[in-house]
Amino acid sequence: MKLKVYVDRMSQPSRAILIFCKVNGIDFEEINIDLTKLQHHSLEFKNVNPMKQVPAIVDGRFKLFESHAILKYIACAFPGVADHWYPSDLFKRAKIESVLDWHHTNLRRGAVGYVFNGTLAPLVGRKLIPKVAAEGEILLSASLETIESFWLTDGGRFLLGSTQPSIADISLVCELMQLEVVDDEDRIRILKPFTKVKKWMEDTKIATRPHFDEIHEALFKVKGILQKRRISAATLKINSGSKL
Ligand SMILES: N[C@@H](CCC(=O)N[C@@H](CS)C(=O)NCC(=O)O)C(=O)O
């Protein structure tokens, strides 16, 4: 039976799973769970993931949620996944675990806090909360500084000084790609001080092409829609101002 992967391509951990499967030639079925239509609250999906979040997988009778756990499971369960993604060497593997744990308590908290509460919340019927977005931005910037000065060491092009990418590179870069939906000026301002981070993001994209770009198409579509809305709102403001 084929591996079933439950995702919404607007979700950054979902994209990480899809890119990883595609890059490694894994045969899987993608099942779209549209978060804007609240499909993650359906009884059917609750049976897959009781936490009602994407991504989740079903491999035969085995069910799993949490993207980092899923990446590790797929790397180990499917033959043909190159060792560099999740090395069998205990020390290298432990360092990757360290980056992944750090990600969920730092970079992800900051990035989600900033992007969701400052931009995306209305798409799922929630209100923007500028104060929480501002707090998220502070943690996001501190996390970018840690990646720049600590996780990207002087060795190779990828995290932990590796010459080839691991599951941590895909996971963290997909997280940062979510910044594409915020106002361009803000994203450029936030990333500006971090030259190593920007180069590493580019290197990870290149290493996982063409799948990286294909899987991110949905995100860029939403970016386009939000950009048009911002322009319309700004024009409306200028026009109503000129009538006063
Ligand atoms: N730690 C989880 C996070 C999963 C998560 O936050 N998923 C979001 C989409 S990115 C979701 O399903 N949100 C819907 C909700 O929480 O209601 C992972 O890495 O898989």
Are both 15 and 32 inside the same structural domain?
A: yes
Residue 143 is part of a domain; what is its CATH number? Answer: 1.20.1050.10
- CA-CA distance, 94 to 129, in Å (whole number)? 37
Calpha distance 146→153 (Å, rounded)? 11
Residue 234 Cα to ligand 1 middle (Å)? 32
Atom 16 in ligand 1: residue holding the nearest Cα:
53
Q: Which of 81, 105, 130 is the last residue of a domain?
A: 81
Single-letter code of the amino acid located at 71: L
Asked if the structure places residue 126 within a domain, the reply is yes
Residue 89 maps to a domain: yes
Q: Are residues 60 and 113 in the same domain?
A: no
Same domain, 90 and 77: no
Residues near 160 by beta carbon (within 8 Å), at least 6 away in sequence: 92, 95, 96, 99, 151, 153, 166, 168
Say if ligand 1 is within 6 A of residue 13 CB: yes
What domain range is 208 assigned to? 84-223
Q: Is residue 193 domain-shared with residue 88, that is, in the same domain?
A: yes
Check if the beta carbon of residue 80 is closer than 8 Å to that of residue 24. Answer: yes
Does pLDDT of 243 surpass 60? Answer: no
Q: Are residues 24 and 97 in the same domain?
A: no
Using the mean position of ligand 1's atoms as its centre, give its distance from the Cα of residue 181 in Å: 17
118 plus 151 within the same structural domain: yes
State the number of CA atoms in the 13 A half-sphere of 20 facing the CB.
Answer: 34
Instruction: Say whether both 47 and 34 belong to one domain.
Output: yes
Summarize pLDDT for 105-140 with one digit per residue, the tens: 999 999 999 999 999 999 999 999 999 999 999 999
Whether residue 190 sits in one domain with residue 92: yes
Nearest to 32 by CA among 232, 215, 238: 215
Last residue of a domain, one of 62, 81, 100: 81
Work out how many domains the chain is built from and give that number.
2
β-pair partners for 30: 5
Measured in Å, residue 155 CA sits from the centre of ligand 1 at: 33
What average pLDDT does range 165-193 have in this prediction?
Answer: 98
In a domain, 91, yes or no: yes
Predicted confidence (pLDDT) at residue 189 exceeds the cutoff of 70: yes
Asked if the model's pLDDT at residue 77 lies above 90, the reply is: yes
DSSP letter (8 states) at residue 150: I
Asked if 120 and 192 sit in the same domain, the reply is yes
Q: How far apart are the first and last CA of the chain?
A: 66
241 belongs to a structural domain = no
Task: Identify the CATH number of the domain in which residue 71 sits.
Answer: 3.40.30.10
CB distance 49 to ligand 1 below 6 Å:
no
Indicate if ligand 1 lies below 6 Å from the C-beta of 11: yes
Q: What is the pLDDT of residue 236?
A: 74
For ligand 1, atom 9: residue with the closest CA: 11
Asked if 104 and 77 sit in the same domain, the reply is no
Query: How far does residue 70's CA lie from ligand 1's centre (Å)?
Result: 13
Cα–Cα dist 89/150, whole Å: 21
Shared domain for 88 and 74, answered yes or no, is no
228 within some domain: no
CA distance 25 to 69: 19
- Ligand 1 pocket: which of 9, 48, 54, 73 to mutate (most atoms within 8 A of CB): 54
Helices (H) and strands (E) in the chain, counts: 11, 4
Are residues 194 and 144 in contact, defined by beta-carbon separation less than 8 angstroms?
A: yes
Residue 183 lies in a domain: yes
Write the pLDDT tens digit of every residue in 48-74.
999 999 999 999 999 999 999 999 999
Dihedral angle, C-alpha 122, 123, 125, 129, nearest 10 °: -30
Measured in whole angstroms, the distance separating CA 203 from the mean position of its chain's CA atoms is 16
Instruction: Give the pLDDT confidence of 15-55 residue by residue, as tens digits.
Output: 999 999 999 999 999 999 999 999 999 999 999 999 999 99
How many angstroms separate the CA atoms of 150 and 99, rounded? 11
Question: Are 117 and 217 in a shared domain?
Answer: yes
The answer to whether residue 131 sits within a structural domain is yes
Q: Is the CB of 178 under 6 A from ligand 1?
A: no
For residue 171 and ligand 1, the question of a CB distance below 6 A is answered with no
Where among 46, 61, 81 does a domain terminate? 81
Residue 234 lies in a domain: no
